[in-house]
């Protein structure tokens, strides 16, 4: 039996992360582009713009999560956006997503974060069930709106 481990990722994890990130983007309907995925993540590392976590099943990388730091003016505290969470097929139904959530929440709370926020597709019922089972609550106060550049 292998064990699931999660840790904060470092630049040396870039190749494994880029592969998972490229799979995640394809899952989200984007074309595969491993060099672009690697470049994007390298830039996040080099500029300290996100915090990445990587999950392993034994020695095999099977999932990742990416947090973006922000602040809550109302709470006068740090907050984080869980922008990406992905578990590869080989890691599913093994507790990988739960382990990633536990690690990123511990990280956020260690900084006194007021909250961790995420968006999930309305039709991704399994992810919604997971988040609810882990104590996440759907926002009942605010609607999310987006503004995109013209022509998009």
pLDDT tens-digit series, residues 40-92: 999 999 999 999 999 999 999 999 999 999 999 999 999 999 999 999 999 99
Domain 4-133 is found in CATH 3.40.630.30: yes
Let me know: does 50 contact 40? Beta carbons within 8 Å.
no
Q: Which residues contact 37 (CB under 8 A, 6 or more apart)?
A: 18, 19, 21, 22, 25
User: With pLDDT > 90 as the criterion, what percentage of the chain qualifies?
Assistant: 91
Helix axes 96-110, 125-133, angle to 10 degrees: 50
Instruction: Tell me the whole-structure pTM to 2 decimals.
Output: 0.93
* 3-state class (DSSP) for residue 47: helix
Domain ranges, ordered by start, for the chain: 4-133
Q: What pLDDT, on the 0 to 100 scale, is given for residue 151?
A: 86
């Amino acid at each position: 039996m292998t064990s699931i481990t999660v840790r904060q990722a470092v630049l040396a994890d870039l190749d494994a992360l880029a592969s998972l990130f490229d799979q995640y983007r394809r899952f989200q309907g984007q074309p595969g582009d491993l060099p672009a995925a690697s470049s994007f993540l390298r830039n996040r590392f080099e500029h300290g713009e996100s915090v990445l976590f990587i999950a392993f099943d034994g020695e095999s990388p099977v999932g990742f999560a990416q947090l973006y730091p922000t602040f809550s003016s109302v709470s006068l505290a740090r907050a984080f956006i869980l922008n990406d969470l992905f578990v590869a097929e080989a890691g599913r139904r093994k507790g990988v997503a739960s382990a990633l959530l536990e690690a990123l929440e511990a990280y956020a709370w260690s900084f006194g974060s007021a909250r961790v926020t995420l968006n999930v597709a309305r039709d991704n019922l399994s992810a919604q069930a997971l988040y609810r089972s882990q104590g996440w609550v759907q926002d009942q106060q605010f609607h999310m709106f987006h503004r995109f550049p013209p022509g998009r």
